[in-house]
Amino acid sequence: MRKGWLICVEGLDKSGKTTQSRLLVEALVNMGFEAVYTSEPSSGEIGRFIKRYVLHRRRRLPATVEALLFAADRVDHIEREVKPMLDEGKIVVLDRYLYSSLAYQGAAGLDLKWIMEINKMAPKPDLAIYLDVPVEVIMMRIQKRQRRSVMESLETQLKVREIYLKLVKEGYLLLIDGNRSIEEVSQDIRRIAVEALRLKRE
């Protein structure tokens, strides 16, 4: 059994998950926990390759290639960063995890079972949060952005949200209404995380 705790925060592009993941880490640290923030695609070599050659190019790569690259980056990230921190008993807050592969590469037409299969080595998180924000709000935020990624079309975001909601229904993810003020959302996430941590300790 691992000593630490794995929490992941999922959502559409510009849904506020990076802000919320960082706020959660800050709150947990203030409460005396050893908590760390990390994200996927990772800052390792494969993650950097993905940011450059998958996300920021004109056309998308074949979905299978994308899925395999994200899965490879995940193994690298887990082995290099996540597992050592969990072994030290830390709370690791992951800004995107395997559910991003299910949602985004699933939206690109791949079979969810196959995506799960190639991500089998990814440890199950103790808490997996999905920040739900309507696609119209997301598209307004995306349009203000200078450097857009290949995932940011309306069609992709609609399909991605559909899969996230399916994962919520199936019990993989816990939905939090992300279409509120930063403070309201962060309070909710903090409360849920602290409650889950307390239950685990009992």
Under the binding rule (CB under 6 A), the answer on residue 42 touching ligand TMP is no
Q: Which residue has the tokens 């995306």?
A: 142
In the complex with ligand TMP, the residue whose CB is nearer, 136 or 202, is 136
Q: How would you class 72 by CB atoms within 10 Å of its CB: exposed for 0-12, middle for 13-18, buried for 19 or more? A: middle
Contact with ligand TMP (CB under 6 A): which of 21, 90, 92, 96? 96
In the complex with ligand TMP, the residue whose CB is nearer, 96 or 161, is 96
In the complex with ligand TMP, the residue whose CB is nearer, 20 or 100, is 100
The enclosing H or E element of 47 equals helix 45-50
d(CA 14, CA 142): 7
Contact with ligand TMP (CB under 6 A): which of 20, 21, 38, 100? 100
Under the binding rule (CB under 6 A), the answer on residue 70 touching ligand TMP is yes
DSSP per-residue codes, 2-29: -SSEEEEEEESTTSSHHHHHHHHHHHHH
What are the helix and strand counts (H, E) for the chain? 10, 5
In the complex with ligand TMP, the residue whose CB is nearer, 55 or 168, is 55
Contact with ligand TMP (CB under 6 A): which of 64, 149, 153, 179? 149
CB of 89 vs ligand TMP, minimal distance in Å = 25
In the complex with ligand TMP, the residue whose CB is nearer, 96 or 159, is 96
CB of 200 vs ligand TMP, minimal distance in Å = 25
Q: Which residue has the tokens 């494969």?
A: 46
